[in-house]
Every structure is written in C-alpha cells, then in structure tokens.
A and B are shown apart, each in its own frame.
Chain A
Amino acid sequence: MEIILQTCVNALVASAFFALMAVGLVLIFGVMGIINFAHGELYMVGAYLVWYFYSSQGWPFLVAVLVASLIVTVIGLLMERTLFRPMRDNPLGGLINSIGLLFILQVLAVQVGGVGLMKNVPPAYRGSLDLLPGVAIGNQRLVALVIAAALLVCVWYFLTRTKVGWALRAVAQDRDAAALQGINIDRISMLAMGLGAGMAGMAGALIAPLARVEPYMGHGVIITAFIVTIVGGIGSLSGAVLAAVLYAFFHTFVTTYWNGTIATMMGLLIMLVVLIVKPTGIMGTRVSE
C-alpha cells in the first residue's frame, strides 16, 4: 500500500514535467503546424544552464532556473525567426530544420560539458516531507512540482482569459481566418514558440538536480512528449494535460513494478493504437487534412 501511494506521488511529479513539455509542443504545433523535434534539446539546454549558473557559478537555485528558462525562451524566439518562419507552408521542412538544430545543440553541449562526464547538480533543497508514514516527497521534487504546476496554471489562464491568449488560440484554429481578423500571425508564432521553448527550458532547469544531466537527455523526453501529445490529441491543450497525467501514472507504475523499457514500449504501442483508431486523440476534435 505504501509503495502504491509512493508511486502515485512520483507519478504526480512526473505528470507535471510531461505536461510542461507536451503543452509547449502542442502550442508550437497548433500555431505553426510544425513538430519541433528539438524540443527535448531545449529541455537539455535548460538543464545545462542550471548546472552552469547554479552549480558552477553558485547563483541561488531559483534565480538560476528563471534565467535558464529565459535564455531558452530567447533561443525559441530565434528558432521561430530563422528556422520556422521561412518554412511555414512546409511542415516537413520545419521538422527537418528542427532536427538540424537538435544536432547542433547536442554537439555544443558535448563541447561545453565534455562527453561522458555527468554533470553533478546538487539538490538545492534537502530533506523530504512526510505525507503519510512511509510516503514521502523530497523537498526538491516538491518545489519542482509546485513551480511546474503554477506555470501550467499561468499558461492556462493566459490562453483562456486574456485577449492575446484568445488570439493565439484563434490562430491555432484557423490561421487565415485569424489573419483576416487583424491578428498578427508572425507575432503570435513568436509568442507560441517563446512560450513553448520557455516551458521546455523550465522543465529541464527544474529537473537538473533530479536527473542525469548529459547531452542526450532530451531523447527519452521527446519520445514521451510525442506519446503524450498524440494520445491527448495533437491540437488539444487540455488533452495534452490529461494525457500527461494518465501516461505519467501508467509509465511510473509499469516502471516500478516491471521494467522501464517495457513501459516505453507499451507507451509507443498505445500511441500507435490511438493513431490508428482515433488520430485526433482522446480530447482532439480537429480533423486532419
């Protein structure tokens, strides 16, 4: 019983990270129609920046996280401007460009941090909080969970309650119609890309003390983000969040009780089944062309 509850706690933390990654991916896809293959590498860059600012330079953890995600946001804005904007009518081209960027960022990470050397990021908050006897959540995880959840709530509020958020969703729904209403597509695209990249950077920055920081850490994350995005419905934000929670629980439980490789394999199969049976995902309504 304690193991089950403990696994639930772990799954809850994982779902917040999955959701941060998946919502960013969905925003980018929704507005620009491009799947950002380099999303995992933005996450990796976020983790590296925290390693640099916090572990090497000794900045306070939260300041390092904030600066890291701001820098990743800027990278995202540059990506939109240089790589994705010229490819707006060519989804495959955008995807290829993001693969090119993925390679570049990985090599830069290897050059900056060295190969094989794991970057040690000590936890900023030691100790843990006992929820129940035998069920605990590390303070570092708790902080990460709270920040990630708060960020998700902010993004949700922004998208559903502000005018700019409405504009963004309008572009995702129908770009031409939105442009006819006087919405600046270029600016909205940059906004979506910056927001998506910033969320990926924030996820990487928060995970740095909890995971192995290495140049290829983005690979597993992008697979997870794909699974969550597809299962949730590729254009649906609420679907992405719901799928993130479901998949996090599924993956954590299968990993705990069976095997991590099996968990990922089953996740991929679930995604395949969703693609075949209901390509719009559990919450999606958008019909593919």
Chain B
Amino acid sequence: MKPARLAVPALFALAVFMVALPFGLKLHQQDFMISLLVWVLVVSSYRLMALTGEYSLVHVVLMGAGAYSSALLAKLAGFSVWLAMPCGALVAAGLAAVLSFPLFRMSGFYFLIGSFAAGEAIRLSWTYFTVPFGGPKGIKLIPSPELTLPGLGPIAFYEPIPYYYLTLIVVGISLFVLYRLENSRVGLTMNAIHWRAPLAESVGVDTWRYRALAFVIASFFAGLAGALFCHYYGTANPVQFDVAAMVYVLIWVIVGGVSRFSGPIVGVVVLSVLNELFREAEQWRPLIYGCILIAVMLYLPDGLIGLPARIRDWIEARRGVAALPAGAEEPADFSSSKRH
C-alpha cells in the first residue's frame, strides 16, 4: 500500500499528464484516447456492481440504452445534447431499476444467465424495431454538443481535442464519485454483502436493496459513458453493444483485478494500449485476449494489480533462500507460507 501523502502528488501528476496528452498525439490516437476514457468509466462502474459479488452480463447493453436514449432525445425530441446526456444516463438507471425486480430474485449463476437473457432481449428489440431504433443499422448522424463561450466563440466539439477534454472532465468527476461511494458506508455495506451476506442480513442490512442500488448506480454511469460515446462517434447501433463488447469489459475487469478500485482501470488501459500498439494484428486480437484471459485466471487470480505483490513475494523468497548459508535449514516462515 502506498502512503497516503504520495497519492495526492501522484494523482496531480496524472491529471497534468492527461491534460497535456492530446497535443502529442496523432488524430486517430486522440480518437483512441476518447474511447479509452469512456471504457475506463464503463469498467469502473462495473466494479461497483461487482463489489456486491454479482457479475452481470447486461452492463454494456445498459450503456447502449444510455447511448440510444441520449441520441434519440437529441435527434428526434430536439433536446439540447447537454440535457440529453444526463437523461440518457437516467434512462439506463431507470431500466436497471426495473430489471432489478426480476433479476435480483436470483444470484450467482442464475443472475449471470438471467442478466444475459435480459440484455439480449433488449438488444434484439433495437434490431427488430426500425422505428425509432433504426434496426440493425442503428442511429446515425447523432448531433455533437454545442457551447458558445463568451469571448471565445463556439467550441468545436466535433473535433477530438475539445471532446477529449469534455470526456476527461465527465469521466474524472464520475470516477471521483464512484471512488467516494465505494469508501462510504454504503460501499462498505456492499462489500460486506459480497463476503458475508447472511451476517449482513442478520444485522439488519436489506441485501436486496443494496444489490439493486449498486446495480442502478453502476448503470447510471454506464449510460453516461454510452451517451459520451455516441455523441462523439455519431452512431449507435446494436453491434456496438453486443455480447462480444460485454465480454471485453469482463476481460478488462478480470485481467486488471477486481479487488481494488484501480484494477479494472489498469486492465482496460494496459490491454487497450497493447491493442493500439499492435494495430496490424487486429484479427488476432480475440486470440491474444483469450490467451491472456486464461493465463490470468490460472496463474494470476488477483489480476495485473496483484502482480507487484507477487513479484515482491517471489524476490523475497529468492533472497531468503540465497541469504542462507549452504546446507542450513530454511527459516520456518518461508517453508510454511511462501514455498510449496
């Protein structure tokens, strides 16, 4: 664990880096950074859900619900994009609230499969109903936000750099809220439900309500991410939010490690940057992801976030052995915990 006084300068340095970053990048890399920020928000909100111990397969579909409703409100109902985006997030949260009644009657596996079914049914309805969802082609030409600052004139949010800053601000605030929430009394209760549900119940915690609350809040931020996504890229279609996208989110979360707040973020950043570096190997991407996923599951159950501790343990174990004179007995604590 890092000392707390190091955390503030480190976060500040990260913020400066993120603000300066787009100027050193090419156009497609700026595009990539915007989508990376959006996915960071998706995986972090997914972690809030995972805190209660439930893994859902409906998260990306709810992100799509945010994108679809924000796009439709801005395009058909004539809402300002600034209003449409939070409304999209609220629609996703509302949908999650409705879904929580049937879904949280189940848990574990049944919840996983049930959320999968609910998600696919929602997604297929986008494919089937051409009005208003546009069928398989989805919605195109979604407007980008407009803002005129006094003295500066209109800001071109269809350009990558201004939109990058918008995304950075929204995602930054959302991450802060999610982080505070996790360390609040509510977040601790959610964690307690994960590990000791019967005990939490016995002291008067309504587990159903906390599970549903985590689900609704997580879906709100997923919907916000979807809205951010669609107003930059200008499209929303059923394929963007399909099972494959959901599985990628799951992979990022698990490869990064779900035990800490930074885990899923590390997962999505590391894997996406790797993916960006090897763009020409695009068709091999699922295979590489599959191999990484299996390797992490088998050999690194804490995810990438657990890697430093693993290495430290390993080095200490090595040093402990090397420091011993030849033929000496190993210290008892090594033989019991570190060595197999």
To the question of whether A and B form a pair in one complex, the answer is: yes
> Residue-by-residue, is A98-120 near B (CB-CB < 8 Å gives 1, otherwise 0)?
01111110111011000100000
Among candidates B105, B117, B290, B298, residue contacting A101 with C-beta atoms closer than 8 Å: B290
Q: Interface code A200-241, partner B: CB below 8 Å = 1, 0 otherwise?
A: 000000000000000000010001001100100010000000
Contact partners of A219 in chain B: CB under 8 A: 243
Cβ of B118 under 8 Å from chain A: yes
**Pair A106/B247 contact, Cβ less than 8 Å:** no
Cβ of B125 within 8 Å of any chain A Cβ, yes or no, is yes
Question: Could you say which interface size class chain A belongs to?
Answer: 35 or more
A262 to B129 CA separation, bound complex (whole angstroms) = 10
Chain B residues near A269 (CB, 8 Å)?
117, 121
Partner of B293, one of A96, A227, A262: A96
A-B contact pairs, 13 of them (CB 8 A): A91-B109, A93-B301, A96-B297, A100-B291, A101-B294, A103-B286, A104-B291, A111-B283, A230-B117, A269-B121, A271-B117, A275-B105, A289-B108
Q: Provide the residues of chain A in CB contact with B250, threshold 8 Å.
A: 96, 99
| 10 residue pairs, one from A and one from B, having the closest CB atoms | A103-B290, A107-B287, A103-B286, A100-B293, A100-B290, A100-B294, A104-B290, A268-B121, A268-B117, A265-B124
Q: Is A97 an interface residue (CB 8 A)?
A: yes
Shortest distance between the CB of B150 and any CB in chain A (Å): 50
- The verdict on B267 contacting chain A, using a C-beta distance below 8 Å, is no
Residue A92 lies at the interface, judged by CB distance under 8 Å to chain B: yes
B166 part of interface (Cβ distance < 8 Å)? no
A-B contact count (CB 8 A): 106
B106 within 8 A of A: yes
Q: Within the assembled complex, what's the spacing in Å between the Cα atoms of A221 and B177?
A: 41
Complex Cα spacing A269 to B117, Å: 7
* Interface 0/1 of B116-145, CB less than 8 Å to A: 111011001101100000000000000000
Find the A residue at minimum CB distance from B55.
A92
Evaluate contact between B283 and A110: CB separation under 8 angstroms.
Answer: yes
Alpha-carbon separation in the docked complex, A97 to B289 (Å): 11
> Which of B116, B128, B290, B297 is A261 in contact with, Cβ under 8 Å?
B128
Q: Tell me which of B116, B127, B293, B297 has the highest count of chain A C-beta atoms within 10 A of its own C-beta.
A: B297
Assess the B113–A226 pair: CB atoms within 8 A. yes
Contact A107–B284 (Cβ < 8 Å): yes
In the bound assembly, the distance between CA atoms of A276 and B110 in angstroms comes to 9
Nearest Cβ on chain A to B122's Cβ, whole angstroms: 9
A77: Cβ under 8 A from any B Cβ: no
**What separation, in Å, do the CA atoms of A276 and B99 have in the docked complex?**
11
The answer to whether the Cβ of A259 comes within 8 Å of any Cβ in the partner chain is yes
Contacting pair B243 A103 (CB below 8 A): no
Interface residue? A57 (CB, 8 A): no
Q: How would residues 245 to 281 of chain B score, 1 for a CB under 8 Å from any chain A CB and 0 otherwise?
A: 0010011001000000000000000000000000000
Given known A96-B250, A107-B287, A268-B120, contact A261–B127 (CB-CB < 8 A)? yes
Given contacts A103-B287, A219-B243, contact A97 B297 (CB under 8 A): yes
Q: How far is the CB of A188 from chain B (nearest CB, A)?
A: 21
A103:B283 contact, CB within 8 angstroms: no
Q: A35 contacts the other chain (Cβ, under 8 Å)? A: yes
